[in-house]
Structure 1
Amino acid sequence: MARNTQAPAKTVAHKPAQAKSAPTKTVSVKTVAEVAGVSAQTVSRVLNHTGQVSEATRTKVEKAMRQVGYRPNFAARALRRGTFHTLGVVMFNIHATGNLGELEGINKAAEKSGYALTLKIMNDEPYNLAELYSSMKLLPVDGIILLMDRTPSDIDTFTPSPDLPMVAITSTPISTLSTVDADQVEAGKKAVELFLQAGHRTVYCVSGPDDSISSLLRLRGWRSALQEHHAPIPEPCPGDWTVFSGYHAGLTLVDAIRAGECTAIFCANDEMASGVAQALNSYGLSVPHNVSLIGVDNSLDSLIPSARPTSFDQNFSQVGATAVDMVMKQIGSLEPQPVEHRSIAMRLVSRHSIKKLN
């Protein structure tokens, strides 16, 4: 008698099928208006940042939107307007002091105009504007703001197309591109003039990285001012923006300070100024008793234990807001706008780090 080798059938318990949830109903502008107790036109004005709407009404409408879960249909809005109400921002280092301040200014100004931001972070490799611009054209943006920390390879040949305006935050003049920046050259010049007016014979310098536009321009201002006043021009001490590089530069200047050759130092940023002061402190030297000191950024003065340094405030937020104003001017124009270059004056913040020798 043959054996039955088949396994006995198992009883499988089936879970009852779950009913599909009904699709979420789209909340309309009319619903928001009813909850807020205003007209649909008023809701539209709040959404589109157009017309006169009081702050109290705006707050009431925004509260109603959150209450009913209203979410704007950005794709449909872009089709109606022909715009995305979004600006593309390109930067290389989001952690840099200046970039953060400029980004804050850009964000506030864009928000005030009813625009959002799309942020693109570049790597440290060499780049050109044509490739960067082409990649941004693939994104839903109406204009581009580039925080140009380094010089692109095609700076003399690139031209943006009229349908996607671009503004660069840089002190480098570009014939085909509108630019804005704090006056970097003037900072170097004014630092030298302040020291010379205080009776110093010459001014030493701690520079930033060789590939930094801001550093090169501050160095240019420092050198040109010394030349203009027929003062000796010492060899700059190279730095890289960091406290450590400033500390190293300070160590190399100890002997010159003790000999009375170096009585004034212009540092291309406050972090390096902090490092210089700390290095001198370790050798029993102090600011301004043994050497006078000026930095740039007005950002890290609390790190210097012996003195709060005189510094140049770059008005980063104003620079960012101005860039938005410039690109919005191009977006809102039916005719091509002429290239313009704006310069924002740095603000001198005077403290007790300059010793008068006269």
Structure 2
Amino acid sequence: MTTKRTARAQRARPPKGPSMADVAAMAGVSSQTVSRVANNRENVEEATREKVLAAMKVLGYRPNTAARALVTGRFKTLGVISFDISAHGNARTLAAIADAAREADYSVNLMGVRDQTEAAVRQAFERLMLQSVDGVVLVESQILDTPSLRLPPSMPVVVADGDTGHRYPHVDFDQAHGARSVVAHLLELGHRTVWHVAGPRDSFAARRRAESWHRTLKEAGAPTPALHYGDWSAASGYRAGRALAKDPEVTAVFAANDQMALGVIRALHEAGRGTPEDVSVAGFDDITEAEFFLPPLTTVRQDFDEVGQRCVTLLLDQINGRTEGAHRLSVEPTLKVRRSTAPPSTRA
């Protein structure tokens, strides 16, 4: 009976995977050399490294990450906290961070947070720390405006677009420069002023674009119309566009993102007001589809790949104890002028 139970237990036990010794035997090296390759140590000849990696691939060997962490003190995993994963800018930033992390041989754990509260942020950090991440990127966090918020001092942190107090290393898009460039472009075309469809009130990026829009108009001595708020969606831009279309004084509209600009253009078209012959419309982000709008959309291009790369570089510098160099980096966006903007119409 005991023999039968033992046999059943052995059959139920999952098959044992290949060991470091198996890899060493196939590659013709020592187990210590396999360990060096698994831990990405530099003191291994390239030809030997290639042999070991080839043997790992053939055998399907996966290094024990827990054991590797004991040796190196690194889990090779970065955490990312985001408050609105669906927003185009945040989604592109997340993708860029994941790409840059992969190039550095790190994986990414994403933590979506619904509420911008101190308790929610602390809980997200606690969960990521339990998942053994080496550092955290915080994406567009309005809650950092709260002076009482303190992030865990033991955890390396980089903020992507959201730390007005400059308390942490951060990488920002120069939102103010982007908004200023598009408003200045419309004023230079001869428009008396520029109406603005802003993003959500709780968005750090939307607020900075709106502030720059207002400041640029004031500096130019142009009237400052009332703001129209949207939620980043084309539908909210459409609703704002319907209201703007009723005002014959409106000749130029700057929408805080391209999707809302698309909604504005449709609303104007339905009201019999063409773009750009009656109303010029500009957006922000330069989404892939922007140049295929009808007409092609004037917008502000943001280099999300560069932001992702800089975030990961800053974070790895902290993780590896490198403290020299700039800890506050800004990426300047570029105005892309297309056919949705033109001088104001002279038609009667």
**TM value normalised by structure 2:** 0.86
Say if 2:277 and 2:344, in contact at 8 Å, map to a contact too: no
TM-aligned CA deviation for residue 313 of structure 1:
1.5
What is the alpha-carbon distance in structure 2 between the residues aligned to residue 97 and residue 324 of structure 1? Answer: 20
Residue correspondence of structure 1 range 29-178 to structure 2 within 5 A: 29-36=20-27, 43-44=34-35, 46-51=37-42, 61-124=52-115, 126-128=117-119, 129-148=121-140, 150-152=141-143, 155-178=146-169
Counterpart selection for 1:251 from 242, 250, 254: 242
Say if 1:175 and 1:339, in contact at 8 Å, map to a contact too: no
Q: Does 1:292 align with 2:280?
A: yes
Q: Structure 1 residues 125-134 or 305-314, which shifts more? A: 125-134
SS in 2 for 1:88: strand
Say if 1:88 and 1:145, in contact at 8 Å, map to a contact too: yes
Structure 1 residues 25 and 193, CA gap change in structure 2 (3 angstroms) = same
Which structure has the greater CA radius of gyration? 1
SS in 2 for 1:296: coil
Q: Quote the residue 1:269 is aligned against.
A: 257
What is the alpha-carbon distance in structure 2 between the residues aligned to residue 351 and residue 59 of structure 1? Answer: 49
What is the alpha-carbon distance in structure 1 between the residues aligned to residue 286 and residue 234 of structure 2? Answer: 15
TM-aligned CA deviation for residue 53 of structure 1:
8.3
Unaligned runs of 5+ in 1: 1-15
TM-aligned CA deviation for residue 161 of structure 1:
4.8
Say if 2:285 and 2:302, in contact at 8 Å, map to a contact too: yes
CA-to-partner distance for each residue in 1:172-199, whole Å, 9 max, x for gaps? 3234211112111112111111111111
SS in 2 for 1:265: strand
Structure 1 residues 347 and 190, CA gap change in structure 2 (3 angstroms) = same
TM-aligned CA deviation for residue 131 of structure 1:
4.6
Q: Which amino acid aligns with 1:163?
A: S
Say if 1:274 and 1:300, in contact at 8 Å, map to a contact too: no
Unaligned runs of 5+ in 2: none
Structure 1 residues 153 and 68, CA gap change in structure 2 (3 angstroms) = closer
What is the alpha-carbon distance in structure 1 between the residues aligned to residue 335 and residue 93 of structure 2? Answer: 18
What is the alpha-carbon distance in structure 1 between the residues aligned to residue 268 and residue 187 of structure 2? Answer: 22
Q: Quote the residue 1:196 is aligned against.
A: 187
Structure 1 residues 24 and 207, CA gap change in structure 2 (3 angstroms) = same
Structure 1 residues 350 and 60, CA gap change in structure 2 (3 angstroms) = farther
Q: Structure 1 residues 112-121 or 273-282, which shifts more? A: 112-121
Q: Quote the residue 1:8 is aligned against.
A: none
Q: Structure 1 residues 131-140 or 98-107, which shifts more? A: 131-140
Say if 1:183 and 1:343, in contact at 8 Å, map to a contact too: yes
Structure 1 residues 302 and 194, CA gap change in structure 2 (3 angstroms) = closer
Residue correspondence of structure 1 range 290-329 to structure 2 within 5 A: 290-299=278-287, 301=289, 306-329=294-317
SS in 2 for 1:72: coil
TM-aligned CA deviation for residue 300 of structure 1:
5.6
Structure 1 residues 74 and 305, CA gap change in structure 2 (3 angstroms) = closer
Structure 1 residues 70 and 268, CA gap change in structure 2 (3 angstroms) = same
Say if 2:27 and 2:51, in contact at 8 Å, map to a contact too: yes
Q: Quote the residue 1:283 is aligned against.
A: 271
Q: Count how many residue pairs are aligned between Structure 1 and Structure 2.
A: 338
Q: Does 1:219 align with 2:210?
A: yes
Q: Structure 1 residues 128-137 or 340-349, which shifts more? A: 128-137
Structure 1 residues 39 and 230, CA gap change in structure 2 (3 angstroms) = farther
CA-to-partner distance for each residue in 1:20-58, whole Å, 9 max, x for gaps? 236644523343244456776765555334439899987
What is the alpha-carbon distance in structure 1 between the residues aligned to residue 267 and residue 28 of structure 2? Answer: 65
SS in 2 for 1:278: helix
Q: Which amino acid aligns with 1:327?
A: L
SS in 1 for 2:138: strand
Q: Which amino acid aligns with 1:297?
A: D
What is the alpha-carbon distance in structure 1 between the residues aligned to residue 71 and residue 184 of structure 2? Answer: 56
Say if 2:159 and 2:171, in contact at 8 Å, map to a contact too: yes
